[in-house]
Chains A and B, each alone.
Chain A
């Protein structure tokens, strides 16, 4: 807490933008994000887009896993539903991308509710296995429902257009991603301070106690699943619009794990954490990628080690964070901030 920042009402405590200082720096950040395409090259914008999708997906997963405590190993499958629904709606039905995306996300939310039904009966390990099964079943459906998904060949998707302007470059798409990511983060942040958010946290902390206090577990667990898969659907649909193609290989089990890793590395139950986690988990492999291609001339043959290296580092990050920094990057950030705001008189 900053010095001199006294709160006199609960409403003050719940405010998202608590001080002028925060507002100012957020405005600066937003301005920077808006101006980024003016200076950045295509590669940076490409990465920025990927980070945007990851932020949306990770925030969604954090609502479910971090805030409600329901572990999902099937997040990639929900993204897949969103992606496929977007692709099918735009190409087959001919709905414009802007309407197809929310409809696709609703479809994903519906499937999310279906997958979430076991959560009413089981929790912990069992739920985790049930969502894992959902991931594999849905992936199988993507591959084998040929008439709808075109199997492993996938579906080509036209880029979204608005009044004759096609969002088909990294730069123009960046703005689509940015707007949606900001809305997604803002919405999630707001959900957490409403009745829904408090119900989620109560369920996570002790579901039986929550039920005693009159929280309808049936409703709120399913709401959490629906919300999380809605986010996943948006992220998946956006990604498909960006890649202009959708295949089952875009949504493997590994991607689900990657999202869980983002949430854990970022910080469970923290929206800011999911953003950090998403940025971190996208940037690490990309940095490795750059390093390995830069060192290609120095150490030939090293680029073959890149793929496995990525997996090792990825796994090591999960393990190390869990053992040494279980509250993730959000906690680190908080500590750093505290250090500076209290400096030089910490404690």
Chain B
């Protein structure tokens, strides 16, 4: 069996999850121009909540999924109201640092509540791998991809075709105009944060399901930064395409560069891509170029 198709297929599968997480970044950035560096912690928290509902309460997966969504939505709204709203209009460093501080708080709380040891997720997907003929997709990746694809589709549809989505897009394109049209920008902000928290929690569940959960699950959140920079910070399509590209690239690097560079290239390649993109095309593949007017 040839190795290249296999790598690309696993890359695409992983890329689907990245795309989903990146969607969370993009939703928040579009609505509020904030880059949420606490996304990784949202993921961890979501995965742990789902895990706890499943194991401690013995609930079936759909129920715990709903519980997680409810929790994440609430978390997003509360955080937006308490922490982010006082900082609207503050300089960029304050806003970035506040999400970093938030990440630290959430990480500490997760640690306190669930203790740092590594746990395996209860199986929620059928374990049989899918044989495509030219490549085999492990079950976790396959179902994770399907799950991520469904979530992404749902969110994209909400954004595109509903009234709420219209309000969100209006806010993203011009806050003043949206306000004068009677759109409640505050509730759009809150909604974006809860949507982002939900996508992050979904991503956390998928990743937790593939590789087990621990408090370090969220480190992937920072890797996804390369996805959104590659795709363009304000583009949903970009998030999805960027996810696939990064997924494939890091898998290729893992196979072809590891022997020469002594392992671990999978972790660093996204960041190298990120730097290259920032140097040559900072607004990404699909993003809007930033034009500064004096």
What's the least CB distance linking B53 to chain A, in Å?
22
Interface footprint category on A: 35 or more
Q: Which of A120-158 contact B (CB under 8 A)?
A: 121-122, 124-126, 128-130, 132-134, 136-137, 140, 143-144, 146
Residues of A within 8 A of B104 (CB): 257, 311-312, 314-315, 318
Residues of B within 8 A of A69 (CB): 93
How far does the alpha carbon of A208 sit from the alpha carbon of B292 in the complex, in Å?
A: 9
Query: Secondary structure at chain A's binding surface: helix, strand, loop or mixed?
Result: helix
How far does the alpha carbon of A122 sit from the alpha carbon of B280 in the complex, in Å?
A: 10
Residues of A within 8 A of B275 (CB): 118, 130, 133-134, 137
How far does the alpha carbon of A319 sit from the alpha carbon of B92 in the complex, in Å?
A: 14
Please determine whether A118 and B279 come into contact, CB atoms closer than 8 angstroms. yes
The digit string for B143-158, where 1 denotes a CB below 8 A from any CB of A, is 0000000000000000
Determine which of B100, B115, B272, B278 lies in contact with A118 in the assembled complex, contact meaning CB atoms within 8 Å: B278
How far does the alpha carbon of A145 sit from the alpha carbon of B86 in the complex, in Å?
A: 45
User: Which of A's residues lie within 8 Å of B, judged by CB?
Assistant: 65, 69, 71, 117-118, 121-122, 124-126, 128-130, 132-134, 136-137, 140, 143-144, 146, 208-209, 253, 257, 260-261, 264, 268, 304-305, 307-319, 322-323, 326
Determine which of A124, A136, A315 lies in contact with B108 in the assembled complex, contact meaning CB atoms within 8 Å: A315
Say whether B262 faces chain A, with CB atoms less than 8 Å apart. yes
Residues of B within 8 A of A323 (CB): 83, 86-87, 98
Q: Can you list 5 A-B contacts with CB-CB less than 8 angstroms, sorted by A residue number?
A: A125-B233, A129-B229, A261-B97, A308-B110, A323-B87
Residues A129 and B262 in contact in the complex (CB < 8 Å), given A305-B112, A315-B105, A316-B105: no
How far does the alpha carbon of A137 sit from the alpha carbon of B269 in the complex, in Å?
A: 9
Residues A322 and B97 in contact in the complex (CB < 8 Å), given A126-B282, A146-B262: yes
Further contacts, 9 of them, CB under 8 A, given A130-B275, A311-B107? A133-B275, A133-B278, A136-B271, A140-B271, A312-B104, A313-B108, A315-B100, A318-B100, A319-B98
Please determine whether A326 and B94 come into contact, CB atoms closer than 8 angstroms. yes
How far does the alpha carbon of A100 sit from the alpha carbon of B100 in the complex, in Å?
A: 35
Residues A71 and B101 in contact in the complex (CB < 8 Å), given A122-B282, A137-B272, A310-B108: no
Total cross-chain contacts (CB, 8 A): 136
Residues of A within 8 A of B263 (CB): 144
Please determine whether A312 and B105 come into contact, CB atoms closer than 8 angstroms. yes
Say whether B201 faces chain A, with CB atoms less than 8 Å apart. no
Residues of B within 8 A of A308 (CB): 107-112
What's the least CB distance linking B22 to chain A, in Å?
13
User: Which of B's residues lie within 8 Å of A, judged by CB?
Assistant: 35, 83, 86-87, 90, 92-94, 96-98, 100-112, 115, 222, 225-226, 229, 233, 261-264, 267-268, 271-272, 274-275, 278-279, 282, 292, 294
Please determine whether B225 and A132 come into contact, CB atoms closer than 8 angstroms. yes
Which 4 A-B residue pairings sit nearest by Cβ, starting from the closest?
A315-B104, A318-B101, A311-B108, A312-B108
Determine which of B102, B111, B274 lies in contact with A129 in the assembled complex, contact meaning CB atoms within 8 Å: B274
How far does the alpha carbon of A257 sit from the alpha carbon of B41 in the complex, in Å?
A: 15
Residues A122 and B83 in contact in the complex (CB < 8 Å), given A143-B264, A315-B104, A319-B98: no
What's the least CB distance linking B114 to chain A, in Å?
10
Residues of B within 8 A of A314 (CB): 101, 104, 108
How far does the alpha carbon of A77 sit from the alpha carbon of B82 in the complex, in Å?
A: 33
